[in-house]
Structure 1
């Protein structure tokens, strides 16, 4: 195989896989090591969270007013209901799934599954930081050969968190080694659909 053909084949494969992993932000190498919240209190985490900022994700393209609602489904399962409004049509879309702990129930590493999304297994949902009442920093990473694909979410209990909460999250992200320059603000205005 010619070097150009080999490169094109590898590149094409990576592009297809990028679509498969929802076009998360690519980085070279394997997923970095990240610490998560220990002694995680799932009950305190339940309820509504508004997306404030995130890395680009194709499944949220043209989405505004994005939020997640987590509920106790029993049997160590968390119900997940994500909603967003399409920026152009102003129609609401939602997707339901479940989250389960991938380690112990006190370690904030979960796998989220959406049954309506074919061919996709559990997506990592790691809570890196949260105070349960104001903010949460969530990270997802998938390894693929020589690259990894990441998404970061800054979630808050209010559509417009206070400047103090925003500053706290920025400091925490810096401590966690999260690239803030890749974050995109989620529009949380005019959300009455």
Structure 2
């Protein structure tokens, strides 16, 4: 009985922590090792990307028509402009930030900071795979005690990528060991604000 009580407390604490880190998807253990794009071409990555699927993130709750626009911000940084339409109010919401390489500029590991968000740490933004012209698979993971919290974003240059591109994305995600059953489709319909 005492073990069950401790287990319930541990699970509740784990869930509370998940809410504190933006309700990313929780997993036990530390962040797994993931390979990222080497020889990353930042200039080819710039431009508009539409969010096709993602792991749940509270900061995108009730969002549709979610997209990101990346620009050259100078000094080896990338400007980030994320926008979405609130599904209930139909109002557009946006947030601006800056992405910086966290390793060498040829490796697709970034830290993204949004000045209007009240925490100090850069959010990990790792490009696991991209062909620059059609799709990008982005992963973020944060360790906390005995758990890690992950977000995955599937981005595309088109609001509705072709079945062939979707097949490629699924194959790549399987190669990376990313759980596709946790993905939520992003509504990209009726996006005129």
1:18 offset after TM fit, Å?
A: 1.8
Aligned twin of 2:133: 133
Aligned twin of 1:184: 184
Q: Is the 8 A contact 1:78 1:99 kept in 2?
A: yes
Q: Is the 8 A contact 1:20 1:120 kept in 2?
A: no
CA distance in 2, matches of 1:41, 1:47: 13
Find the residue that maps to 1:49 and give its secondary structure: strand
1:13 offset after TM fit, Å?
A: 4.4
Change in CA separation of 1:169 and 1:87 when aligned onto 2, cut-off 3 Å:
same
1:11 offset after TM fit, Å?
A: 4.6
Structure 1: runs of 5+ lacking an equivalent: none
User: TM-score when scaled to structure 1?
Assistant: 0.94
Aligned twin of 1:105: 105
CA distance in 2, matches of 1:127, 1:69: 15
1:169 offset after TM fit, Å?
A: 0.3
CA distance in 2, matches of 1:15, 1:55: 16
Instruction: Note the 1:151-190 alignment, pairs <5 A.
Output: 151-190=151-190
Change in CA separation of 1:129 and 1:6 when aligned onto 2, cut-off 3 Å:
closer
CA distance in 1, matches of 2:109, 2:49: 18
CA distance in 2, matches of 1:170, 1:11: 31
- Alignment root-mean-square deviation, CA: 1.5
1:121 offset after TM fit, Å?
A: 1.2
User: TM-score when scaled to structure 2?
Assistant: 0.94
Instruction: Note the 1:17-166 alignment, pairs <5 A.
Output: 17-166=17-166
How many residue pairs were aligned? 191
1:154 offset after TM fit, Å?
A: 0.5
Structure 2: runs of 5+ lacking an equivalent: none
